[in-house]
Amino acid sequence: MKKMYIVIVFFILMFGAGFIFAMSISAAEKAPTTQKAETSGNVQKEGVLRLKKFSYMDRQGIGGEAFSLLIPSEWEFQGGITWKLDNPGMPAVAEFTVRNPKGFEALEVFPNQAMFWTNNQMLLATFPAGARYFGAEVRPVADPANALTEIVLPRFRGNVSGLKIIHQKNLPELARALGAGSSQPGVETFGDAAKIRIAYLKNGVPMEEEIFAVVEGFSFGFQSMQGMITNTNWFVDYIFSFKAKKGELDANAAMFQTMVDSFKVNPDWFNKYNQTVNYLIQAQIQQIRSMGELSRIISQTSNEISDSMMKSYQERQQVYDRISENFSEYVRGTEHYNNPIEGREMELPGGYNHVWTNSGGEYIFTDNPNYNPNVGSNINWEEMQKK
C-alpha cells in the first residue's frame, strides 16, 4: 500500500519518471539548474567523444545529491527538482532536459501527472473533471497509449507544428519492472506502459521523438449512503523522451541508451524522500506554504535505510534499464566494458576502438590508436577493455 503512494519521476524521477507535484512556490524558490558539464584534462578534440558524470544537488528540499547520470561533456543540463506540497503522496517534481547546444539531440524528463477519479457524483459536482482534488487532477483513468496522446502530447508538445504519430507500442515488461499493478492488500491495483514515436517541425526543423510513459494506480471501495463508492488514485509517470533531427534519432540510440542506463537515484536521497512522503501522508497535510515546515519534517527523517526501502529503490532503478532496452527497435549500438577503476561492468556507446575512464567518472571514446588522454593531463586515465 505504501509503495503505491511513492512514485518518483526521474529520471528519474522520479523520475516519472521520474518523475510532478503542485503548489504555489515562487520562481525564486524553484531555482532550476542550467549547467554545462565541465571537463578535466585535455580539451575536446576532433574524433574524440567525452562523457562526464553529472550530479544534481537538491538544494531546495532534502539536500545532497538526488541523482546522477553520464552526459556528453559539452551538453547542457536544464531544470531539476521542485518541491510542491499540495499532494502529500508526490511532494517533489523532477523535470529536466539534457541537450546538445550545437545540435538538436536531447533527453527530456517530464513531470509526473497525479490523477484522481471517482464514481461519487456528489464529489464530482464539487470537483468536476479538470479540477484539483488534494493536489491531483480529477480525470477518468486512461491506458498508457491514450495517456501519451491525450495528456502528455497536448501538455508538452502542443506548441509544435505538423505533429504526427508514427507508431506506438505497449510495453508491459516496463510496467512489470516497476512493479506497477502488483497486488496490494485492501486495494485493486493496475499498471501498464507504452511508448510512441512522433514527428513534427520545430522552428522549421523536422524532428523525431520517442516518448515513454507508465500508468499505474490503485482503487478502493467503501459503502456510503449513495451506495458503493470507488475512488481511484492514478499516475502517469516515468515520462521520458529522446529526440533528434529527423533521420538521426536511431543513429543516436547508443548515446541515449548510455545516458539512461547510467541514471542513478541516490539511495540516501530516496530514503529520506520516502520518509518525508510518509510523514506528509500520516499527518494528512493538505497545504504547506513555508519551506521552513518542510525543513522541520525532513529533519525528522533517518539516514538508516530499511530492507523494504532498499528493495523499493532497486525496483525503481531497474525501470531505467527497461526504458533504455526498449528505446531503439533496430539499432542497439552499445557494448559492454570492464571498468578497471570501479571494478564493474558497464554498457557504453559502441563502435569505438579505444575507451578510457578516470576516477572522476569521465569517459573518452576514440578510434585514434595514438590518442592518450594522460598526455598533458594531471588526471590518471585507464583504458577499458570490451567484454
Q: What is the pLDDT of residue 291?
A: 53
As a whole number of angstroms, the distance between CA 312 and CA 7 comes to: 10
Q: What is the pLDDT of residue 19?
A: 29
Phi-psi region of 316 (alpha: psi -120 to 50; beta: other; left: phi over 0): alpha
Cβ atoms of 381 and 374 closer than 8 Å: yes
Q: What is the pLDDT of residue 261?
A: 81
- Other Cβ atoms less than 10 A from the Cβ of 231: the count is 17
- Strand, helix or coil at 258? helix
As a whole number of angstroms, the distance between CA 4 and CA 313 comes to: 13
Q: What is the pLDDT of residue 293?
A: 63
> Residue type at 313?
Y
Q: What is the pLDDT of residue 44?
A: 38
As a whole number of angstroms, the distance between CA 234 and CA 264 comes to: 25
125: phi then psi, degrees, rounded to nearest 5: -65, -30
Q: How far is CA 93 from the centre of its chain?
A: 10
291: phi then psi, degrees, rounded to nearest 5: -70, -20
Is the four-CA dihedral 130, 132, 136, 140 of positive or negative sign? negative
| pLDDT (tens place) for every residue of the chain, 387 residues total | 333 333 322 232 333 323 222 222 222 233 344 444 433 333 334 468 899 999 999 998 889 999 999 999 999 999 999 887 767 777 888 899 999 999 999 999 999 999 999 999 999 999 999 999 888 999 999 999 999 999 999 999 999 999 999 999 999 888 887 777 677 777 899 999 999 999 999 989 999 999 999 999 999 888 888 789 999 999 999 898 999 999 999 888 888 888 888 888 999 998 998 888 887 766 654 444 555 666 666 677 767 666 666 666 666 666 565 555 555 544 446 788 899 998 888 888 877 889 999 998 899 999 899 999 999 899 999 999 988
Q: What is the pLDDT of residue 72?
A: 94
DSSP 8-state symbol, 251: G
Cβ atoms of 144 and 153 closer than 8 Å: no
Phi-psi region of 317 (alpha: psi -120 to 50; beta: other; left: phi over 0): alpha
Length of the chain: 387
Q: What is the pLDDT of residue 162?
A: 96
- Strand, helix or coil at 135? coil
Q: 327: exposed, middle or buried (C-beta count within 10 Å: 0-12, 13-18, 19+)?
A: buried
Domain definitions of the chain by residue range: 2-41+76-325, 334-386
Helix residue spans in the chain (DSSP H): 2-5, 27-30, 121-126, 144-147, 153-156, 172-178, 253-261, 267-282, 291-298, 307-325
Cβ atoms of 106 and 229 closer than 8 Å: no
C-alpha cell at 377: 593531463
Q: What is the pLDDT of residue 108?
A: 96
Q: What is the pLDDT of residue 364?
A: 93
Q: What is the largest CA-CA distance in the chain?
A: 80
Strands 334-339 and 188-202: unpaired
